[in-house]
Structure 1
């Protein structure tokens, strides 16, 4: 976890570490399976290198990709003085570098943060959220997003995704016959490829579910960190309710545009189809319950 004044979250650190360890082990197992069952060291190395390269590119260009997906643009303090002022205050309070600031011209109220490091990050809000929330609610949302930056969530999630990328590549490689090119000369080649594909499917499924589990927890962690930083959990609770409640009135084209970076947003743009193990965000009720407990804790008389 990055050094900042956001509250320490041992649970998040442990979950990030365990997820990286588990997916790293699966990644190694996937490569070993290619070599052992398909007897194609070259194919295993190619899959590993391509997956690492794709994960590195996703991490390196994460801010540009997300901004482009959300049709966002960077804004200066002159263009958005109130927004910059809020982020300036929160960064000073959290003792962290100030990220770049972006605005997406979308009616859907939402916000996200991304970037390969705290020094190369961007926090973006939509015009919809600027029109929907009051200043306290918007500040609470920005604190949530800044906690993602401080905790280096983008780095961890990108590294963790490399096992799933490799598994997907392996399945495509096998599908197009790249590893089964010798099957006409070797009767065991086809079963070997099938074994490798089964291993790839297992790795992909475990990677997918592990990342979703980690993603849901990191959203709860960001809610906690933002609430304790601003000392206004009720403002974040109200903001989450407003953002979630506005979805029904938003044009479908805006929801689809925002869904391109939905996993990064404070509330998923299109949440109707994904729930339970498949969801990238925890249920709204669970988030509100956590914020209510924090509000009760902060309201308790000292001593």
Structure 2
């Protein structure tokens, strides 16, 4: 879909202005989520509507000042390029699957400059990669969308990549994106002003129970199996946490206080697969993300996903996805 539209960049002016309205600057990187952009701006707009007091302004940028394409094909007109910002600004970077190509030298230099100037800055979803590559997240606990989590862990050893929906520190924040973006924005509004403003905005957005940052990203399958059987859900969580160094079904069964035979019955009943088969599928899906998202060599991907050799890994990969790892990357016939 190729739709061009212009966001209402100049918000309706409230009847009064606060003594010191806060400005949010939003940098769009190619393939950003239009949903994330709306989830950033709408809470700010509603905070201004509460009692018609202008608490916020916002400014939307791209690297070159040209329209930026979202992941759904929409093009968003922006207000400028990599402008000089004020120390009191809050900077939010939005990005998506094209995180490697959009983390340009120019963007990274600009992000470092904003960090040195003391801005409160953060990133959502794939844009966390740009902040990490720029070095402004060094040693931090970070959150990102679950599809990018293992890629960040493998690429940036200095980061503590969490499973949470967002991480909010004194000067930096990171977020998984999607509905978590709205949760983050409500918390930022609460921190900027108070509970009354944040609660009014949440109610207006029909989000009366926003999640806190320590809420973990949960896979639908794990949630569904947890509703049906908590032992099975716990076994899957153990598998997801040990993709690089897989453990035996017997060890998993011991951790959840059941027998190996009982574990096999649970997987057969609810998922129609063996524990070993499910474990391998999880590791192969993680390998596929690393192949598509990183420059890691095939053997490095294999080892990062618990496979001892490239040949065995390639055979299993082709059986699962119909392509060899090289073909997946477009290198094979």
| Higher relative contact order, chain-length normalized (CA < 8 Å, sep 6+) | 1
| Same fold, TM-score > 0.5, yes or no | no
The TM tier, using the shorter chain, reads under 0.3
Structure with the larger strand share: 2
